[in-house]
Structure 1
């Protein structure tokens, strides 16, 4: 009997330990749902069934502050439907103490232009706003640090929203990575006057670069330098890869480069030129490249066309096939023309199709034909 009781307690402890612990240590787990929470969410028109299915543990926590948090959001201009959506996506918000949320609001307003903008961010990134109060000091220090770099407030806000981990950790860690990026920029010949703009663009495109190891960045740049890329070309790659150079490693890049060279049948010099025109080739795994080469060649596109316009490798096989069919319907033979028409965003492609359609419908002007007298 004692063994059964001990086993039961152990299982219960395991279940409790598995619950998220990043909220407030003072909240407790009840065996029954907190009816105060459930009723408050019902009043706000929140889909309780979805919460029970996805994050039912929240409804068992006590105390909760559903009405208080909803009031704080309402005071910032959030509509009823917006508040309901925030609670549905991130029900943990109801467990955040109002005083902590007031502090969080003040922190965010130090970089947000207005309440409307902040509500928009909370709606998209609720987990970034409803964080543990123990991180507030780190957040405050990181905000002050990035502001000291004279970065645009919009960039700082985007960093806080999309990469909250970099603001929750000690500021010293972000300082090390930023210094590494700045040093790499200068050592590769970047101009001091443009460094702030370059850093802003890099952090905006890939906020998670701050969470990477500085050693990985140095190691990857050394590898690419050994492959024959000049300092100017390395700066180009570091900028164009949007920080992905910190997510790669020499082994994966070596395999990708060798596969690409063998498949396209080009020299090392030609391969470097292809990489500079399409840096994405560096971080695609061999399986992805193999699928895309197969799709392009299967559509009748020649390898020489791919080498001439390597950016077509950035498109998935599904997108390529769809665009080829659209172009074929407009009388454009991709096998004989440039692949450049395939590139770009969906909007860019639609513009190209519109021009082809216009060219197809517009009658050719014949200067010898007699003019109509009525004209």
Structure 2
């Protein structure tokens, strides 16, 4: 029994997430908590029970720099409540050496416009800021590389915060993917003057595009070209797919295009035109598309209407049904009208409903009716 318990504990340690710092991956159950850390966290109003439950191993580490982390954040303008939230969500931050934290602060300030914004980023992505010192050189090299491309600082900051893996790895890997994207853009007829804007848009829409193998991009573009898409259409797809073209593969796209064509009963050319207007047909699963097709058809919408406005397939069945009922209350029948009114964000839809309500309540003007004079 003791051997079984010991074995299960070891397995539990092996399944624990990789630590961002060079620390012991597991501590023994008998090791005592670092009381200085516990007391410092109490003083900062950190939820100790939450830390014990989710990251209890941190409280057993020595040395810890709880006060130093708090002072660094406070010096950047963080309030007490913000500091408490950061340490509650990411208590591992107290294990960062003060010199390492200061180096990170200087590094991030090279792309952040001010310390207030940096504090906001740390609050949302603490693990991206309090990272291993072994990644510092790669971070610095990657920042320098992206700055050499004259990319907007906000894009670089967003990448560092949301996709820190892109900055912790050697700069050569990012250079290779960026060069592949630039080459594809040129080969597809993209204008050199617009390349920077195009790259920024692509990176901001899919922050993990750099982590994909360049070969995947080439294979997918070749597949789509073989399916009859022109170079101009491929550039449109690459731009509209928000980087999904690097997450797909020829087999999955072949399957989804065959499914969509059979479901819609359209020709190859009609399918290409539909995909260009709704690239989601390439990356949604068969289960998702099947459900959405059935939902639209069961609401009395024809397949011809769907093909005319295929972006309606990007909405869940629940949202579509809700919007159909809202429109019906204003006298709009989607079975005979355009589906375009169903599209857009929640704000766009509410604006459309508002216009329909005004149109419904506005009295009709009768040009032959006598005008009412003053009594």
TM-score over 0.5 for the pair: yes
1:373 match = 373
Q: Aligned pair in 2 of structure 1 residues 223, 39: CA closer, same or farther (>3 Å)?
A: same
> Are the counterparts in 2 of residues 27 and 95 from structure 1 also a CA contact under 8 Å?
no
Residue 116 of structure 2 is matched in structure 1 by: 116
Cα offset, 1:40, TM superposition: 1.4
Q: In 2, Cα distance between the equivalents of 1:102 and 1:213?
A: 34
1:8 Cα shift? Answer: 7.3
Alpha-carbon offset, residue 197 of structure 1? 1.0
Q: Shift in Å at residue 33 of structure 1? A: 2.2
Equivalent-residue separation in structure 2 for 1:316 and 1:90 (angstroms): 34
Shift of 1:364: 1.3
Q: Which residue of 1 aligns with 2:192?
A: 192
Counterpart among 23, 26, 34 of residue 25 in structure 1? 23
Instruction: Find the counterpart in structure 2 of residue 268 from structure 1.
Output: 268
Identify the residue that residue 170 of structure 1 maps to in structure 2. Answer: 170
Match of 2:218 in 1: 218
The question of whether the paired residues in 1 share the 8 Å contact of 2:13 and 2:26 is answered with no
Q: Following TM superposition, by how much is the alpha carbon of 1:159 offset from its aligned partner in structure 2, in angstroms? A: 0.8
**1:297, distance to aligned residue in structure 2 (A):** 0.9
SS in 2 for 1:207: coil
5 Å matches for 1:331-342?
331-342=331-342
User: What do you get for the CA RMSD once the two structures are aligned?
Assistant: 1.9
Query: Contact 1:24–1:95 at 8 Å: present in 2 too?
Result: no
Are the structure 2 counterparts of residues 359 and 160 from structure 1 closer, same or farther at C-alpha, using a change threshold of 3 Å? same
Cα offset for 1:25? 3.4
What is the match of residue 319 of structure 1? 319
- For 2:265 and 2:88, the matched residues in 1 are separated by 53
Per-residue deviation, 1:126: 1.2
Please list the CA deviations of residues 243-295 of structure 1 after superposition, one character each: whole Å capped at 9, or x if unmatched. Answer: 10000000000010000000001000000000111111111111110010011
Are the aligned partners of 2:274 and 2:307 in contact in 1 as well (CA < 8 Å)? yes
* Consecutive unaligned residues in structure 1, runs of 5 or more: none
The answer to whether structure 1 residue 148 and structure 2 residue 121 are counterparts is: no
C-alpha displacement of 1:374: 3.0
Distance 2:266 2:143 in 1: 48
Aligned counterparts of 1:360 and 1:8: Cα–Cα separation in 2: 71
1:178 counterpart SS class: helix
